[in-house]
């Protein structure tokens, strides 16, 4: 496989999707180029997909929010005859490294979560129109939509055939959405998930696997009717003018370093870690909403968000042996708060709201990244408001206490804002502070009393907002020992431990999806029943069934 996967794309470069816009309605056609696989060794037949297909879909969903805010209904359908989508490409899964398979599944689920939430968050509702076979990951695409229409033509069907065919799970998102979202009865779910040919027609409707069953003759009519009905639900941005998401400026060094305008990623391969440095705004915040729109994608809150998102994905897929991600920042704390305040004060504006929603998604992506996460609050740092969420997302945080000898930068401080108390829920639907203080909820209220107050290390430590407050005598040694210790542990044990510890409190559909992905799919993708020489993934298409070790463990 290639050493570098690029998550940046744009509409003129799409090979697998096309979008048609008609006022408040957009039609999204999945029309996969079978010769356009991200890697060599397989063809993307029957609208099957790999990571490259999903990178394009993620870009479309993102641009729909920022470039086409007037759109209220999106119809997802196939651009091919007689097949909707055959799911994730089997040859790709069979040949991919284990880490790629698991990261691929995580990214696809993050993308689906994004458009699944678009109706409630942004008034953009997704309708899936199925004609032909809709299998595996293809049905998972449909499950994340707000409404599913199936053609009643005797052959069109929905299925999750991974267990009987491939000895793997239906991407975990499929299983969870069938039970938690569609609320399919357990015994029927057992039948559905162990039947190769899937379910069609009236049974699919009766079991609530789809929302609507229509004849071929009325298929287009009903699609149009439902799209208009969903479009009518959200008309607050009907006359909005979107902003263009220009390509990111990014330089990648020979040593693996990555430099953006406001983000720098430094790599230390010997130590096994990467440092993500966030630079605060160098320019004053826009004076008003009109100025915010004029700045567009170059406004600091959006620009740093896009760069951080790209950096996290780059590290996930291209730097799999860097086990620790270190977050640092520098800049004017007050400027960070001023840029954020413009968004918070103008949430009724679609653009301000979308930037905040994008930060919610990025912070979740950090939560779900299978690396040890640490934040260093050094002199001159600008962790404030939204950036403070990073301190609550990491596994441990170190804050410099007081002046450091020979360092003329301002002492380390942090500052909370209103955004830390509801704008950025985690996958468990709690804020990071609510999750942090699950056993002491009164601490959240105490912290809220410090909003817009500059907190030094002693105060932040007293409020429980950082893990350690260290003076210049202890700082270097304590940080070094932690990083060396972390690098010495088993990455498998760390991933499992971190995933269990990050999401205290209630379970949601989202935590169940990613919890199963981390534990179950991570395990299943390494079992010989699936990926061994005689496993189902390797033998798929050969006419010979996989040979299974029958022990259940």
273-321: pLDDT as tens digits: 999 999 999 999 999 999 999 999 999 999 999 999 999 999 999 999 9
pLDDT at 311: 98
In 3D space, the residue among 76, 86, 173 whose CA is nearest the CA of residue 118 turns out to be 76
pLDDT at 236: 67
pLDDT at 3: 65
**Starting at the edge strand that comes first in sequence, how are the strands of the sheet with 147-151 ordered?**
17-22, 25-30, 73-78, 125-130, 147-151, 212-214
In 3D space, the residue among 58, 35, 33, 57 whose CA is nearest the CA of residue 47 turns out to be 33
Spans of the chain below 70 pLDDT: 1-3, 171-172, 235-236
In 3D space, the residue among 363, 514, 499 whose CA is nearest the CA of residue 430 turns out to be 363
Write down all domains in the chain, each with its CATH number in brackets: 11-161+196-233 (3.90.226.10), 252-496 (3.90.226.10)
Backbone CA torsion sign across 346, 347, 352, 356: positive
pLDDT at 172: 67
pLDDT at 9: 97
User: 69: how many CB neighbours lie within 10 A of its CB?
Assistant: 23
What is the distance between the alpha carbons of residues 342 and 364, in angstroms, rounded to a whole number?
23
């Amino acid at each position: 496989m290639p050493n570098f996967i690029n998550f940046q794309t744009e509409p003129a470069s799409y090979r697998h999707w096309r979008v048609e816009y008609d006022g408040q309605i957009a039609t999204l056609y999945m029309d996969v180029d079978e010769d356009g696989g991200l890697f060599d060794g397989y063809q993307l037949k029957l609208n099957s997909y790999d990571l490259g297909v999903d990178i394009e879909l993620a870009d479309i969903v993102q641009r729909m929010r920022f470039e086409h805010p007037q759109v209220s209904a999106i119809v997802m359908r196939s651009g091919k005859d007689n097949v909707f989508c055959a799911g994730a490409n089997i040859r790709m899964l069979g040949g991919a490294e284990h880490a790629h398979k698991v990261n691929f599944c995580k990214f696809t689920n993050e993308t689906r979560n994004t458009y699944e939430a678009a109706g409630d968050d942004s008034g953009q509702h997704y309708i899936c129109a199925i004609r032909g076979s809709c299998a595996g990951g293809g049905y998972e695409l449909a499950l994340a939509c707000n409404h599913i229409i199936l053609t009643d033509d005797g052959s069109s069907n929905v299925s999750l055939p991974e267990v009987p065919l491939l000895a793997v799970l239906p991407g975990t998102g499929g299983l969870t959405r069938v039970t938690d979202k569609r609320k399919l009865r357990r015994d029927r779910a057992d039948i559905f998930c162990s039947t190769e040919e899937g379910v069609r027609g009236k049974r699919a409707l009766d079991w609530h696997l789809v929302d609507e069953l229509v004849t071929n003759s009325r298929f287009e009519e009903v699609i149009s009717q439902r799209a208009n009905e969903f479009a009518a639900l959200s008309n607050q941005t009907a006359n909005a003018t979107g902003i263009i998401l220009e390509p990111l400026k990014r330089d990648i060094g020979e040593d693996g370093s990555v430099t953006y305008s406001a983000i720098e990623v430094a790599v230390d391969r010997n130590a096994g870690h990467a440092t993500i440095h966030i630079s605060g705004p160098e320019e004053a915040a826009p004076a008003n909403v009109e100025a915010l729109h004029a700045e567009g994608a170059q406004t600091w809150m959006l620009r740093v968000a896009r760069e951080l998102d790209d950096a996290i994905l780059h590290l996930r897929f291209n730097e799999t042996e860097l086990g620790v991600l270190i977050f640092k920042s520098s800049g004017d704390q007050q400027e960070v708060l001023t840029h954020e305040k413009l968004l918070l004060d103008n949430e009724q504006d679609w653009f301000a709201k979308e930037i905040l929603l994008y930060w919610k998604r990025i912070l979740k992506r950090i939560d779900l990244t299978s690396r040890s996460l640490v934040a260093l609050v050094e002199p001159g740092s600008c962790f404030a408001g939204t950036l403070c969420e990073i301190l609550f997302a990491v596994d441990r945080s170190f804050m410099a206490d007081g002046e450091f000898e020979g360092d003329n930068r301002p002492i380390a401080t942090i500052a909370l804002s209103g955004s830390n108390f509801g704008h950025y829920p985690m996958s468990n639907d709690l804020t990071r502070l609510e999750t942090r203080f699950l056993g002491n909820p009164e601490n959240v209220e105490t912290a809220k009393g410090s909003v817009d107050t500059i907190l030094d290390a002693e105060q932040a430590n007293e409020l429980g907002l950082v893990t350690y407050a260290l003076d210049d005598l202890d700082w270097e040694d304590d940080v070094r020992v932690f990083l060396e210790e972390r690098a010495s542990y088993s990455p498998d044990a760390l991933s499992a431990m971190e995933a269990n510890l990050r999401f205290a409190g209630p379970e949601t559909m989202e935590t169940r999806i990613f919890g199963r992905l981390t534990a179950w799919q991570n395990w299943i993708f390494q079992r010989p029943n699936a990926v061994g020489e005689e496993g189902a993934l390797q033998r798929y298409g050969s006419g010979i069934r996989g040979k299974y070790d029958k022990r259940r463990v």
